[in-house]
Homo-oligomer: A and B are copies of this chain.
Amino acid sequence: MRKRNVMPSTDSCRTCASRLRSNWRSLSEVELQRLDRTRRVVRCDTGEAVFEQGDPSLGIYCVRSGAVAVRKLDAEGNTVTLGLSYPGDLLGQASLVEEGEHRTSADAVVPSTVCVLDPRAVSDTLVRNPAMARDTLRRTVAELELAQDALVRAATLPPRDRFVRLLLDLLQRHGETCADGSCRLELPLSRRDLASMVGVRHETLSRIIARLEADGLVRFSGRRVSVPSYRRLVAAVPRTA
């Protein structure tokens, strides 16, 4: 992970393309401006860290563009990728309720822009704007449920099925569907990262991919993935609860 570049604020929150998808969509112009004044911008190239687990938090992080992987390291140095964050998403919402060290690492998987907001300003806004407080709670609850679903899958589904589910999720975000029901996908993640999301070693993931190719469900070539039939891929895995 190379260093990040902290730049002075360029654009404003008001004109942010992902504003309506973000936590701040229920803010008035005035409130937005107040937030905006505290804003710093971090530009990261692919692979650059936005922040590292253990760093003191500089504020509330909000993805403006690109895609950011959120990872957690355990005591043995294993790293688990918890998920990807996209424009409008908040990173490390722990800093919403208490400052301190980052409990996760975050790095750009494509060139990305992330804004950093003053926690006090955000906190003030939360107090003054119940609609945003509710919105924030809703998002956090949604994320909690995502995590719990992942726990259930980790406990019950075999690795192969977990990987197919991951592929289907990535297709939603990064894929393009053709008229004939096939689709293509440029993976934003390395094999190792994929493996760390599925919870298996990377050699095992290689074999899983080989098996899926043998079954004619997907074709991998580097980071290019093509899926001959989306329907068949969906059918290859138990119901999406």
Copies in the complex: 2
A181 at the interface (CB under 8 A from B): no
Contact with B along A155-175 (1 / 0, CB 8 A): 111000000000000000000
In the complex, whether A215 has a CB less than 8 A from a CB of chain B is no
Nearest B residue to A70 via CB reads B148
Give Cα A53–Cα B202 distance, bound, in whole angstroms. Answer: 36
The A interface is mostly helix, strand or loop, or mixed, namely helix
Give the most central of A97, A138, A143, A239: most B CB within 10 Å: A97
- Which of A3-11, A75-83, A204-212, A221-229 contacts the other chain? A75-83
Q: Tell me if B144 and A199 are in contact (CB < 8 A).
A: no
Q: Which residue of B lies closest to A76 (CB)?
A: B238
- A179 contacts chain B at the CB level, 8 A cutoff: no
CB of A147 within 8 A of chain B?
A: yes
Q: How far is the CB of A226 from chain B (nearest CB, A)?
A: 27
Flag the segment in A32-40, A128-136, A182-190 that touches B. A128-136
Assess the A80–B152 pair: CB atoms within 8 A.
Answer: yes
> With an 8 A cutoff between CB atoms, is A74 at the interface?
yes
| B151 engages A140 (CB within 8 Å) | no
* A positions within 8 Å CB-CB of B: 72, 74-76, 78, 80, 82, 93-94, 96-98, 103-104, 123, 126-128, 130, 133-134, 136-138, 140-141, 143-145, 147-157, 196, 199, 238-241
